[in-house]
Amino acid sequence: MKPESAVVSITVNGTPHRLEADTRRTLVDLLREDLGLTGTKIGCGQGTCGACTVHVDGVRVLACLLLAVTVEGGQVLTIEGLGTPDGGLHELQQAFIDRDALQCGFCTPGQIMSGLGCIGEGRANTAEEIRESMSGNLCRCAAYPGIVAAIADVAEGQGA
C-alpha cells in the first residue's frame, strides 16, 4: 500500500496551520519536522518518558502517542508558546532556572509543559502530590528535587 496523506488543520501556539501530512505522522514529528518547533523532544517514543509533553485543547498529553490526523482542529501549546511576546521567560521557566531544576536540559521542555498541567489541575499542593502527578516525566540527570521545588514555587505564588 502506498503512503496516504490527509489535510490537517491545527493551531499551534496561536498560529493556525493547514498542512498536508502523511497519515502516519505523529504530532511530535509534525511539530519538529514540518513546523521546525524542536523544543518538544523525543525520548522513548513509547509513552514512558514524557519528553514529548505538549498541551492539546488545554490538557497535557504525549505528542509521541498522538497521530496528527487525530488532532484535527486542535489547539496545541508547546514550550515555544510560553513566555512573553518580547522573549521574556514564563514564570515556570524562570523557576526552573532559580531552582536548578535541570542539568542536560533534554527533559526540561516536557517537564515544564507537564508541570503547567500539574499546577492547572490543582495537583501541586504538596511535594508528594507533585511527585505523583509528575511521575510520567523522567529525568536521566535526576534533577527531581529542583523540578518539584520549581513547580511548588509557582503553584504557591498563584495561591494554589
Partner 1 sequence: MRPFEYARPSDLAQALAAAGPDTVFIAGGTTVVDLMRLDVLAPRRLVGLGDVAELRRTELDGDPVRLGAGVTMAEAAALPLVRERYPALAAAIDLAASAQIRNVATLGGNLLQKTRCPYFRDASSPCGRRRPGDACSALTGHLEQRAVLGASPHCVAPYPGDMAVALVALEASVEAATAAKVVTVQVADLFREPGDAPHKETVLGDGDIITAVLLPAPRGTSAFVKLRDRASFAFAAASAAVSLELDHDRVVAARIALGGVATRPWRSSEAESAVSGERLTPERAFAAGEAAFEAVARTHENRRGIALGARAVTAALLACRGG
Ligand X SMILES: Cc1cc2nc3c(=O)[nH]c(=O)nc-3n(C[C@H](O)[C@H](O)[C@H](O)COP(=O)(O)OP(=O)(O)OC[C@H]3O[C@@H](n4cnc5c(N)ncnc54)[C@H](O)[C@@H]3O)c2cc1C
Contacts with partner 1 by CB under 8 A lie at: 1-4, 6, 22-24, 26, 45-47, 50, 53, 56, 59-62, 64-67, 69-70, 72, 114, 117-118, 121, 123, 131-137
Backbone angles phi, psi at 120, to 5 degrees: -60, -35
Grid coordinates given for 65 = 502517542
47 touches ligand FES (CB under 6 A): yes
Dist CA 114 CA 54 (whole Å):
7
Q: Taking Cα atoms as reference points, which of 121, 109, 122, 89 lies closest to residue 147?
A: 109
Query: Given the complex with ligand X, which of 65 and 141 has the nearer CB atom?
Result: 65
Grid coordinates given for 16 = 493556525
Rounded to a whole number of angstroms, the minimum distance from the CB of residue 131 to ligand FES is 15
Binding at 118: pick from partner 1, ligand FES, ligand X, none (beta carbon under 5-8 Å per type): partner 1
Q: Which stretch binds ligand FES (CB under 6 A): 31-39, 41-49, 84-92, 121-129?
A: 41-49
H or E segment and range at residue 127: helix 127-133
Backbone angles phi, psi at 11, to 5 degrees: -105, 125
Query: Given the complex with ligand FES, which of 144 and 160 has the nearer CB atom?
Result: 144
56 touches ligand FES (CB under 6 A): no
48 touches ligand FES (CB under 6 A): yes
Q: Taking Cα atoms as reference points, which of 110, 102, 103 lies closest to residue 150?
A: 102
Query: Given the complex with ligand X, which of 47 and 122 has the nearer CB atom?
Result: 47
Grid coordinates given for 92 = 515556570
Rounded to a whole number of angstroms, the minimum distance from the CB of residue 122 to partner 1 is 10
